[in-house]
Amino acid sequence: MKPFQYRDGQLSAEDLAIESLAAEVGTPFYLYSEGAVRGQLRDLKQALIAAGLDPLICYSMKANPSLAIMRALLDEGAGADVVSEGELRRALMAGVPPQKIVFAGVGKTAEEMRAGLEAGILQFNVESRDELLRLNQVAASLGRTATIALRVNPDVDARTHAKITTGTSENKFGIDIALAPEIMSQAAALDHIRLEGLAVHIGSQLTDLSPYAAAFSRLAELFQAARDAGHAMKRLDLGGGIGISYEDGTPPDFPAYAEIAKQAVGHLGIPLIFEPGRAIVGHAGLLISRVLYAKQGINRRFLILDAAMNDLIRPTLYDAWHDILPVAEPGPNTPLLPQDVVGPICESGDIFAEQRPLPELAPGDLVAICAAGAYGATMSSLYNSRLPAPEVLVRGGEFAVVKPRLDYEAMLRQERLPPWLADAPA
């Protein structure tokens, strides 16, 4: 579905005009389409099943950990991929059955391991020998057995941004594929570890399927070798990372991705875990902001918004492109001017777009920053002591504020003065 379209001269979210939402909620705010989120998950699941695969889709909560979004995905049969105790608690609060939760991450603490074991999750994706030994110790202290998959680093370059590639030998993630047989044997000898699978995740925002083909094929070969060596292997976790279109180009479609997985691992006849995040929620979200000032410099025109890099840091962090749309639909012959779209934070890097062709917007006009459903709100901060943007979920003609705007009193209550500074100066 197309969740955000112009209707009667105004950008709408499903059946609601964004202008009316902004008047009620205030700006800036994140806006999500429940229909788009559900639709993406259904499309991926149908593609995988049509390819003859047996998928469990564990949504990657780091992309957008909203309880409301997780609950909607749970209704569609999804589980959760978590990388911290906080995400584990969110998944459980949303109602995700523990047997549909995978705990990933390269730096799990003993406390996080304990939380996962006590919850009874499906598996831990183990990423190092030291982690394996610590998990065995924690499980022994609880009198339990930890079910694991070894996350293998296949040394495949995902050809994505350097900061979000995870599958080469230079990355911190996973166990080098050459060392995996030795560590599998060690895992099998531990009293409180049950090795049941292998996992891989080579990066995020992949738009080329060939790295998947290489990584999945190497994982399948290792899986078969592990079976031949006597390990009771049951499943593969193929990770996530499917990209979306931010600026141009065509991201891989789900049927093509499913066919790659089928060709590489379908012959094994085993259940598979997939961990999509961005592909499910990326295009389902907007950041709605209002123009504070239009500033004409000597050579550049600046649109200064009430949203900032503390709300959406991707352009600053990754030089990421996000389409920017006026909420009021421009006429067909409206001239476009190159403009820098910036926020009010005291940093030169607080930029959403440079020299972007846009209509000549004025103070008070609304803009929508697109493809902000993934790695937007979840990466926000209180920098400059700015209040984070609230989050709104739309379904058809109704909406709900699913994360209210923090107020200044609540922000300040998070801090404490030490006793020797508690008395106000005279």
Share of the chain above pLDDT 90, in %: 88
Using the predicted structure, report yes or no on whether residue 173 has a pLDDT greater than 80: no
Using the predicted structure, report yes or no on whether residue 90 has a pLDDT greater than 60: yes
Which residues are CB-neighbours of 410 under 8 A, at least 6 positions away?
none
pLDDT digits over 244-258, tens only? Answer: 988 876 788 999 999
Confidence of residue 174 (pLDDT cuts 50, 70, 90): confident
CATH of domain 4-32+282-412: 2.40.37.10
Which residues are CB-neighbours of 333 under 8 A, at least 6 positions away?
none
Spatial separation of the C-alpha atoms in residues 74 and 97, rounded to whole Å: 9
Amino acid 154: pLDDT:
87
pLDDT digits over 51-60, tens only? Answer: 999 999 999 9
Amino acid 247: pLDDT:
81
pLDDT digits over 318-373, tens only? Answer: 999 999 999 999 999 999 999 999 999 999 999 999 999 999 999 999 999 999 99
Averaged pLDDT of the chain:
94
Cβ atoms 392, 284 nearer than 8 A: no
For the chain, what are the domain ranges? 4-32+282-412, 34-278
Amino acid 168: pLDDT:
44
Using the predicted structure, report yes or no on whether residue 415 has a pLDDT greater than 70: yes
Does domain 34-278 fall under CATH 3.30.450.40? My reply is no
pLDDT digits over 303-317, tens only? Answer: 999 999 999 999 999
> What would the two tokens of residue 48 be?
């995988």
The candidate with the shortest Cα–Cα distance to 312, out of 338, 285, 293, is 285
Is 346 assigned a catalytic role?
Answer: yes
Which residues are CB-neighbours of 136 under 8 A, at least 6 positions away?
146, 190, 191, 192, 193
Confidence of residue 45 (pLDDT cuts 50, 70, 90): very high
Q: Which residues pair with 54 in a beta bridge?
A: 271
Confidence of residue 93 (pLDDT cuts 50, 70, 90): very high
Amino acid 203: pLDDT:
85
pLDDT digits over 1-12, tens only? Answer: 789 999 999 999
Catalytic residue among 8, 269, 297, 346: 346
